[in-house]
Structure 1
Amino acid sequence: MNALASQLRADTEAICYSDGRKVGTAGHERAKVHLKQRLSEIGCLPFSGDSFELPYEFKKQSFCNLIGRIPGKDSGLSPLLIGAHYDSVISHPCADDNAAAVAIALQAGRIIHEGGGLQRDVIIAIFDAEEPPYFLSDAMGSQRFYSDHVEGKTSIHAAVVMDLVGHDISVPGHMLGILPGVKWLELLLPGFGGKDFSVPHLSSGLFVTGSESHAELPDALRGIGQPDHLKVIATLNDYIGDVSDHGVFRRHGVPYWFLSCGQWAHYHMPTDTPDRLNYDKMAAITHYLLQMARSLDERELKGERKEEKVHDTIELEAAFLRSALGLFHGPVMRWAGLKEVKSRADMDQFAMKLLSTGLGML
């Protein structure tokens, strides 16, 4: 494990309490205190006023977003936002959901600060109340941050939001005998078909949605390309919906990317513990996030701040899918009933096939 992976592990484990981080609990309060300290340590200044805390209330319950700012060289430019939520859905560690993404946001912020900052300010946004029963309600932290501190007050240049980015992508056990290239595992490991398992080529996968939100984002993603040690699959937000904190930015026409490895066997389970995460993969995602941030920092991204403005990214999606699958491309296409993805209808068919198996993001 390299130094960055070790730091990511430390930041993840630091808020993975046995009693979790549910809103209103002692664990939630401990996480809030710890994360305020970490924002200061990585070089952030408060986004507003003299505190990282941006408290708010909903139906007499208290919540708190934690928002820091890494100064850029030109404070007159609209800031770039890197975001993740810190609350947990159950009273358990919830390492992948979403301590891992918080750790990546912190380490990306640290690296940007230590490198002298970008051209524009970078907001490190650690949102509260993403999980049910607050999800998509007026109590949701990202929605309150936008309505209370952005709308009518400032302009976000672009947002990169993360959720479920700590684990290897696994293949459901029932896919043995269906997905090409993995049936032989059942022969080697009798009884393995009831468990999820990793396939080395696929486990490093990372889904990226949102390139359709601005005309320049497909070229920006192409310019970054396929990173080392990751298999990036670019896809439409429509295939998964507003499943996390990126939704409020999409709805307000802010260019965005959403990063996720999708759901897995330990999603919203007590077994979502720090020892199950892949910290080397998280380090690779951190480096990829930094490339994204630098690319967005350099682009003006003018105009087109309307939700209904969606750009067709089928060529980008098809190219990234082929690159990510590599030697698996032909067999996987045959499994999906396709020769290759050439049109939106082809991608729709592939996406629905993938989602129906449990291999996708839902």
Structure 2
Amino acid sequence: MIRLTALFLLLSLSVSAQVIEEERLKAHVEYLSSDRLEGRGTGTPGEKKAGDYIIRSFKKAGLKPYPGQKGFRQEFMAKKGAAGEVKAHNILGYMDNGKPYTIIIGAHYDHLGKGDQGSSLKPGSVGEIHNGADDNASGVAGMLELARYYATNKKTENYNFLFAAFSGEELGLLGSKYMTEHSGIDPAKINLMINMDMIGRYREDKGLTIGGIGTSTVLEKWGPELGMCMELKYTLDSTGVGPSDHSSFYLKDIPVLFLFTGAHEDYHKPSDDADLLNYNGMKRVTNYVIQLVSHLDELPKIDFKKTSNPHANATRSSFKVTMGVMPDYSFSGNGLKIDGVSEGRPAEKAGILAGDILLKVGEKEIKDVYGYMEVLNTAEKGQTVTVEVLRKGEVVRLKLTF
């Protein structure tokens, strides 16, 4: 028997399921991932064009600059390898419904430019445009369609909305971290942050990863229940941290939800193009957000919970092994800085400490979180490797068994 709460969701779904339009999603992605934007590298003219496009969409939806900001652009300085510091911009659009609490819906709009930012997974690709259709024109398209929906649905929700397009994500979550620290945001006034990062490759066999459900008891209940009602295949991940911008908000004690349709062979390569995306799948993911917010609209402010181990409650993990560390996603230096070490996991047994900077695992040099994720995807359970960490200025070598 379908419970009344689930039945309510199914009925409300029938009303709004066609609101998000595939053609609009496709048009956003095709522009943002076109060659004319040259991969939207942080601080580049191509990224500025993307920002102009987002601002035009915000204005068309009737959004205003976030209170305290002079305009839609929030400028910050971003460290960018050999280029040194460059000017980067978050794009923030606000819908003031006169309510005490706000929901943030965000997506990063920067990508790898012409492969010169150090994160391309195609060898020798410097000079090639990395269009980033899935990563993350897809999430931006979903965010823009949600802004249009909430501006035109002839309803005043019980929340204000802050729509955020982040820059500097590929360089270490720089934009979202800056936003949380320099926008005057009171975490107690934020009900939820929803992060849409790579929502363009939904597959029926793989489904949608719904991350962050452990950051609130409400999300723990309604995250999976809603996925079931909408007949989405899904994987649940409880943790509030991950290699994307929701981490910056979780670290400020804000409940987060992270929507992600999974990595693929075109990830961080020039081949991540618009014609490979599943636009019907993007619409389904975006409608998931509408249905969740519709339910939250009937509730008081949701609670915040600290989560334990990353991926501890995942129903399916994309990694073969775990080290049991919590990365510092705001760290912009060389290597992976470790924020926390889980008890009883391989890292703790090896002697790795919070504050260490992971430099090497076996023969693999770790330059950033993506290199770390590669290791987790290729190492085998039971394998023993030598790891190198930088600890208080000294390189320490340890033996770690996965």
The alignment's TM-score, normalised by the length of structure 1, stands at 0.70
- Kindly indicate whether residue 28 of structure 2 is the aligned counterpart of residue 11 of structure 1: yes
- 1:184 corresponds in structure 2 to none
Q: What CA deviation, in whole Å up to 9, does each residue of 1:262-292 have, x standing for no partner?
A: 2111000000000000001001111111112
**1:316, CA displacement in angstroms?**
8.7
**Separation in structure 2 between the aligned mates of residue 356 and residue 57 of structure 1, nearest angstrom:** 33
- Kindly indicate whether residue 194 of structure 2 is the aligned counterpart of residue 168 of structure 1: no
Could you tell me which amino acid in structure 1 is paired with residue 157 of structure 2? Answer: L
**Separation in structure 2 between the aligned mates of residue 154 and residue 54 of structure 1, nearest angstrom:** 22
**1:222, CA displacement in angstroms?**
4.5
**Separation in structure 1 between the aligned mates of residue 150 and residue 104 of structure 2, nearest angstrom:** 13
- Match 2:64 to one of 45, 52, 77: 45
**Separation in structure 1 between the aligned mates of residue 377 and residue 131 of structure 2, nearest angstrom:** 29
Contact 1:216 1:301 in 2 (8 A): no
- Kindly indicate whether residue 99 of structure 2 is the aligned counterpart of residue 86 of structure 1: no
**Separation in structure 2 between the aligned mates of residue 109 and residue 316 of structure 1, nearest angstrom:** 32
**1:50, CA displacement in angstroms?**
4.8
Give 1:285-300 correspondences, 5 Å limit: 285-300=285-300
- Match 1:61 to one of 86, 92, 101: 86
**Separation in structure 2 between the aligned mates of residue 234 and residue 249 of structure 1, nearest angstrom:** 19
**1:58, CA displacement in angstroms?**
4.4
List gaps (5 residues or longer) in structure 2: 1-17, 80-84, 115-129, 317-375, 380-402
**1:253, CA displacement in angstroms?**
1.3
**Separation in structure 1 between the aligned mates of residue 250 and residue 113 of structure 2, nearest angstrom:** 27
List gaps (5 residues or longer) in structure 1: 170-200, 322-354
**1:356, CA displacement in angstroms?**
4.7
- 2:212 corresponds in structure 1 to 210
**Separation in structure 1 between the aligned mates of residue 185 and residue 25 of structure 2, nearest angstrom:** 33
3-state SS of 1:237 partner? coil
Give 1:123-134 correspondences, 5 Å limit: 123-132=162-171
Residues 263/223 of structure 1: CA separation in 2 closer, same or farther (3 Å cut): closer
Whose strand proportion is higher, 1 or 2?
A: 2
Give 1:244-283 correspondences, 5 Å limit: 244-283=244-283
Contact 2:109 2:167 in 1 (8 A): yes
The alignment-based identity, stated in percent, is: 27
The alignment's TM-score, normalised by the length of structure 2, stands at 0.63
- Match 1:35 to one of 45, 54, 70: 54
Q: What CA deviation, in whole Å up to 9, does each residue of 1:15-34 have, x standing for no partner?
A: 11321100122211111111
Paired positions, count: 281
**Separation in structure 1 between the aligned mates of residue 51 and residue 202 of structure 2, nearest angstrom:** 28
Contact 1:207 1:261 in 2 (8 A): yes
Could you tell me which amino acid in structure 2 is paired with residue 163 of structure 1? Answer: D
- 1:310 corresponds in structure 2 to 307
**Separation in structure 2 between the aligned mates of residue 285 and residue 217 of structure 1, nearest angstrom:** 16
3-state SS of 2:234 partner? strand
Could you tell me which amino acid in structure 2 is paired with residue 38 of structure 1? Answer: S
**Separation in structure 2 between the aligned mates of residue 287 and residue 207 of structure 1, nearest angstrom:** 15
Contact 2:78 2:168 in 1 (8 A): no
Whose helix proportion is higher, 1 or 2?
A: 1
**Separation in structure 1 between the aligned mates of residue 225 and residue 313 of structure 2, nearest angstrom:** 11
Q: What CA deviation, in whole Å up to 9, does each residue of 1:99-144 have, x standing for no partner?
A: 0100000101111111134111111111111003xx14xxx11000
Could you tell me which amino acid in structure 2 is paired with residue 164 of structure 1? Answer: M
**Separation in structure 2 between the aligned mates of residue 96 and residue 302 of structure 1, nearest angstrom:** 30
- 1:237 corresponds in structure 2 to 239
3-state SS of 2:297 partner? helix
**1:71, CA displacement in angstroms?**
2.5
**1:156, CA displacement in angstroms?**
1.5
Q: Considering only aligned residues, what root-mean-square deviation do their CA atoms show, in Å?
A: 3.0
Contact 2:210 2:223 in 1 (8 A): no
**Separation in structure 2 between the aligned mates of residue 253 and residue 147 of structure 1, nearest angstrom:** 13
**Separation in structure 2 between the aligned mates of residue 159 and residue 273 of structure 1, nearest angstrom:** 27
- Match 1:101 to one of 105, 114, 139: 139
**Separation in structure 2 between the aligned mates of residue 13 and residue 153 of structure 1, nearest angstrom:** 35
Residues 267/315 of structure 1: CA separation in 2 closer, same or farther (3 Å cut): closer
Residues 278/301 of structure 1: CA separation in 2 closer, same or farther (3 Å cut): same
Q: What CA deviation, in whole Å up to 9, does each residue of 1:41-79 have, x standing for no partner?
A: 12212113452111122465211110111232xx24110
- 2:189 corresponds in structure 1 to 155
Residues 131/225 of structure 1: CA separation in 2 closer, same or farther (3 Å cut): closer
3-state SS of 1:144 partner? helix
Residues 237/157 of structure 1: CA separation in 2 closer, same or farther (3 Å cut): same
**1:165, CA displacement in angstroms?**
0.7
Could you tell me which amino acid in structure 2 is paired with residue 112 of structure 1? Answer: Y
**Separation in structure 2 between the aligned mates of residue 165 and residue 287 of structure 1, nearest angstrom:** 12
**Separation in structure 1 between the aligned mates of residue 302 and residue 208 of structure 2, nearest angstrom:** 28
**Separation in structure 1 between the aligned mates of residue 262 and residue 224 of structure 2, nearest angstrom:** 22
Q: Taking CA–CA contacts closer than 8 Å with sequence separation of 6 or more, which of the two structures ends up with the larger relative contact order?
A: 1
Residues 117/126 of structure 1: CA separation in 2 closer, same or farther (3 Å cut): farther
Could you tell me which amino acid in structure 1 is paired with residue 86 of structure 2? Answer: Q
**Separation in structure 1 between the aligned mates of residue 312 and residue 239 of structure 2, nearest angstrom:** 16
Give 1:127-142 correspondences, 5 Å limit: 127-132=166-171, 135-136=172-173, 140-142=174-176
